[in-house]
Amino acid sequence: MLSGMLEPHVPPQPPSAIPSAKGDVEIDEPNPAQRTVARRTAEARATIPDLELSLDVPMGVAVHRQAGERVSLDALLVAAVAAALRAVPRANGAYRDARFEAYSRVNVGFVIARDEAYLIPTVFDADEKSPAELTAEIAQLTEDALARRLAPPAFSGATFTLWNAGALGLSRAGIVINPPQAAALAAGAVRELPAVRAGELVSEPVATLTLACDHRILYGGQAAAFLAAVSDALQR
């Protein structure tokens, strides 16, 4: 190029139009909810040494209760988790500042999965409510959360997190612990599996429960006891 000549001005292309071996790159800014999910997930993975355990739970009693008592599976899961949190108090706590915290209230954060993010409103004092009460409350919380009618306090104060992943058709799912809670549970879809009863091969409804726990506070034996307590509550 001759000295003194100016190059023609070419405006920079936006990132969405930058060509690459992958084709055009489209940039999309995350919304506030997605930023929260990204921050909380990174925090959990970076700071919590988690242990994951799964248990297949017979769901015949729960399925019967759904139909007979007209309660939701979500409500029965929340009720079972709440009962287990009372039976295994270490699960209703946290490891913070090199100390164990134990909470007197059982507040279950209930995951509502959306395409772009998660919403986790809190069912306060879940252990004090019947499945019928929980059915109505969870339905209302879900409706209000999706309509963005809930204030920030409705998403705080949870001592444990539950995700009914079966609502999305998943037979089994993992879950990330919501700091600073000790654990979180994902419930897979109820599906028919073969089982032997009185020497005969039968089919029974089963769901896979997967517990992620902070191994600094909830050890393998306690985590197994918690899963067993959830299973027992679902079979009553």
pLDDT tens, residue by residue, 60-117: 999 999 999 999 999 999 999 999 999 999 999 999 999 999 999 999 999 998 777 7
Q: How confident is the model at residue 4 (pLDDT cuts 50, 70, 90)?
A: very low
Question: Measured between alpha carbons, how far is 92 from 224 in angstroms, rounded to an integer?
Answer: 15
E strand residue ranges, the chain: 50-58, 93-96, 99-102, 108-110, 112-113, 118-119, 122-123, 160-164, 183-187, 191-197, 200-214
Identify the residue with better confidence: 33 or 62. 62
Distance CA(175)–CA(53), nearest Å, equals: 11
Residue 25 CA to its chain's centroid (Å): 32
pLDDT at position 44, please?
Answer: 84
Please give the Cα distance from 139 to 173 (Å, whole number).
22
- The CATH class of the 49-234 domain is alpha beta
Average pLDDT over residues 154-165: 97
| Least confident piece of the model among 53-57, 137-141, 153-157, 198-202 | 198-202
Question: Do 115 and 166 form a contact (C-beta atoms < 8 A)?
Answer: no
In 3D, which of 50, 58, 25 has the Cα closest to residue 184? 50
| CB proximity list for 142: less than 8 A, separation 6 or greater | 112, 121
In the chain, where the domains are located: 49-234
Label residue 228 by pLDDT band (50, 70, 90).
very high
Q: How confident is the model at residue 40 (pLDDT cuts 50, 70, 90)?
A: confident
Residues in the chain: 236
Mean predicted lDDT score pLDDT of the chain: 90
Q: Please answer whether residues 149 and 174 qualify as being in contact, where contact means their C-beta atoms are separated by less than 8 angstroms.
A: no
For residue 168, the model assigns a pLDDT of 94
* 1 band by pLDDT with thresholds 50, 70 and 90: very low
Task: Check: CB of residue 163 under 8 Å from CB of residue 174.
Answer: no
